[in-house]
Structure 1
């Protein structure tokens, strides 16, 4: 298995080099040269595997022997033994033909743990095997930061810096990141939005000399290993539902802002999983909804919402999907991305839009509808949704046909977003791990959302691990 860039200017590289490169050196995103195909017989054989066994089977297609079998199995075992349930991502039935996939049983109560526990252990494995210094740089709209820090903290040879938008994440999300007292962890609260942080990250990674000097590695979903780990739970959900119902295909409703979580579902479908419609659930920051309905990809006005992890205008994983939409043509992908950079928008053809709509539906869920959905489902099912999952459920109700079976991805524990839950006049009890955060001191720097200021902070934080004299 080799990996290439969506923009066509990266030579075929292996899995570990792909993990280390993160953002492709030509500014594109790395994708597998060929998507593995899983036959129906193989799917049947995989259907009764445990989550860890299933993860090994799927990830093996992409690692392709670069990590020995016993070491990869141990890496996967270590990644998921930190979860609070043996199923890792259990499926819960809420109504007839409607399920939720609980992705919040990891150490930081968010779906990002599924990928970042794996990626953290993978980075640690690479550091030990190669002696490579690894300095991780990432931006978060809320959940990635805590999950990334939890995934790598205390691991030898690894330091991490996370940017988050100051005052634009939930209190629990902020505390999970900033109460970590560890010299290897730097939290920067930027005076701006997540999109500002994401832009700065990409600009810094595009400076190849700076990236090499400070051994910078990516933790955001621009790193293909993140997508790969998330692909597993689509297979797992399908197999669990298929044990209960006779289904030919399964729809998924996915709360998403950066297009990574739902791209993992698209990848699973391309691999041969019988996925029907992928429903993109967004909030008022609905660039993805507008693209899927109208074929125009153009950022709008930024809104702070009850679902802050989706408060994103420019989805960093969208380019991966665009590459496949353009029939794996790197020149066409580069041209559209250049157009987006220069004009601030891109438009696809009518034929291409029809292909988009064959794979995806979309709904932008407004704040009041989000809260109404939390209240309604709590009253009717006694199940408490976090606001992101509520957007997914509301999108399911709009986009899913009654006779179709659908799984909504439940991306976070409601305790992470009590600001929204309180508005629904619902009292919840915090898990012990979250309650303890409120008594801890915080460690963070508030900085301007500028490339220069962030570089200065990185130089101070990573200097002691750099092999280059300043």
Structure 2
């Protein structure tokens, strides 16, 4: 398996190099040269498999000869043994043909655990094999940071620097990051928003000279292909649990950076019958405005009750644009350069092709709270604000009531008690036992100005071998 850049100018790489590179040298994102495709018969034969074995069948073609099959199987088994439900990604029914898939049963209570618990093991394997040290630099709007720290904190050959927007994540999200006090873990609160943090990460990957040539950066954000690869699996899991592949499913995906829903797009291309993908956003609705009206235009980023989706520059959207433009990297590069200067559209026939699969909706804070309250009063089931947006968008955009609709439940409601209270509910979601003392733990965090040179200087002076 070889991987190519969405900008078309970087060299093709194998899995190991893509894992460590994160961003391509031309500023693009890596995608496979070709996708594995599974027949209906093959997918049907996977019914009843443990989650880790299903994951092996779907992911191993992407890893290929980079890791022996038996070792990769062991990694997957260890990764998903740490989840709190035997099904790993259980389904909860809300209504007739309407479901929530709980993707928050991992150690940090968010869907990011599916990929980042595995990523830590992959990095351990590759870096030990190469006797190499790397510096992880990542940006988080709330959940990626804690999942990355939990997944990689035991990695012997890694230093971790996570940037989050100062005072723009929930208190639980912040404490999940800042109370892990390992010598190789550094949390940086940037006086800015998530897009500022993400921009710093991308610019740092583009020019790593601040590290003095002594090490290299590695990515944990969903620009890293391994993140996308791991997220494909639970679409197959949902389908097999609800009658697939002998019937189609629809999915509603709360998304800010487009990675989670892009995984669903790939699942369809790999042979899974999916009739509809709903892009569910909050007021930061650049993806909705593009998908509903073919206009890609950045607005001022707003702070909402669903902070993990407070994103205006959706990195993984580039991967979809690459496909929509016939995998022509030059066209994608030109489009994205123009998008930095003002609004852009794509050719109508390309946009209409995307609309065959994708719908979208933007849900404001009031709609989020209304949905949390309505579902709890009707079902005694508590949604976090991101999943509530997914449920509301699913109901607003559903094309066919006879097709099962699955909303991806991206985070545990205990991470967002303020949103639950804002919804007018007196119930207080409880953290699980392993986090019961979270608010009593010591925190460690460095607050820095929204300035790239300051952040790079901090990293250069604090990594292990500096």
Interval containing the TM-score (normalised by the shorter chain) = over 0.9
Q: What are the residue-to-residue correspondences of 1:83-94 with 2, within 5 Å?
A: 83-94=83-94
Q: What are the residue-to-residue correspondences of 1:118-137 with 2, within 5 Å?
A: 118-137=118-137
Pair 1:147–1:257, CA change in 2 (3 A):
same
Pair 1:208–1:447, CA change in 2 (3 A):
closer
The 10-residue stretch of structure 1 (9-18 or 221-230) with the greater mean CA deviation from structure 2: 9-18
1:403 CA drift (Å): 2.6
After superposition, what is the alpha-carbon deviation per residue over 1:239-266, rounded to whole angstroms, capped at 9, x for unaligned? 01117xx962100000000000000000
Q: Match of 1:65, SS?
A: helix
Which structure's residues are more often helix, by fraction?
A: 1
After superposition, what is the alpha-carbon deviation per residue over 1:136-181, rounded to whole angstroms, capped at 9, x for unaligned? 1100000000000000112211110000000000010000001111
Query: In the aligned structure 2, how far is the partner of 1:96 from the partner of 1:425?
Result: 25
Q: What are the residue-to-residue correspondences of 1:442-453 with 2, within 5 Å?
A: 442-453=443-454
Query: In the aligned structure 1, how far is the partner of 2:426 from the partner of 2:371?
Result: 13
For these two proteins, the number of residue pairs brought into alignment is 462
Query: In the aligned structure 2, how far is the partner of 1:195 from the partner of 1:346?
Result: 19
The 10-residue stretch of structure 1 (408-417 or 45-54) with the greater mean CA deviation from structure 2: 45-54
Q: What are the residue-to-residue correspondences of 1:234-245 with 2, within 5 Å?
A: 234-242=235-243
Among candidates 341, 346, 370, match of residue 372 of structure 1: 370
Give yes or no for contact 1:362–1:399 (8 Å, CA) kept in 2.
Answer: yes
Give yes or no for contact 1:123–1:134 (8 Å, CA) kept in 2.
Answer: no
Q: Match of 1:296, SS?
A: coil
Q: Match of 2:189, SS?
A: strand
Query: In the aligned structure 1, how far is the partner of 2:158 from the partner of 2:13?
Result: 23
Query: In the aligned structure 2, how far is the partner of 1:204 from the partner of 1:435?
Result: 36
Q: Match of 1:132, SS?
A: coil
- Let me know the Cα RMSD of the aligned residues: 1.3
Partner of 2:402: 403
Partner of 2:171: 171
Partner of 2:47: 47
The 10-residue stretch of structure 1 (386-395 or 59-68) with the greater mean CA deviation from structure 2: 59-68
Give yes or no for contact 1:177–1:187 (8 Å, CA) kept in 2.
Answer: yes
Pair 1:337–1:213, CA change in 2 (3 A):
farther
Give yes or no for contact 1:254–1:408 (8 Å, CA) kept in 2.
Answer: yes
Q: Are residues 1:270 and 2:269 paired?
A: yes
Q: What are the residue-to-residue correspondences of 1:292-331 with 2, within 5 Å?
A: 292-331=291-330
1:465 CA drift (Å): 2.6
1:44 CA drift (Å): 1.2
Q: What are the residue-to-residue correspondences of 1:35-434 with 2, within 5 Å?
A: 35-210=35-210, 213-242=214-243, 248-341=247-340, 343-401=341-399, 402-423=401-422, 424-428=424-428, 429-434=430-435
Query: In the aligned structure 2, how far is the partner of 1:172 from the partner of 1:345?
Result: 36
Q: Match of 1:52, SS?
A: helix
Query: In the aligned structure 1, how far is the partner of 2:228 from the partner of 2:356?
Result: 22
Query: In the aligned structure 1, how far is the partner of 2:30 from the partner of 2:440?
Result: 42
1:433 CA drift (Å): 2.8
Query: In the aligned structure 1, how far is the partner of 2:263 from the partner of 2:352?
Result: 21
Query: In the aligned structure 2, how far is the partner of 1:363 from the partner of 1:455?
Result: 37
Give yes or no for contact 1:25–1:208 (8 Å, CA) kept in 2.
Answer: no
Q: Match of 1:396, SS?
A: helix
Give yes or no for contact 1:294–1:353 (8 Å, CA) kept in 2.
Answer: no
1:368 CA drift (Å): 0.5
Structure 1 residue runs without a partner (length 5+) = none
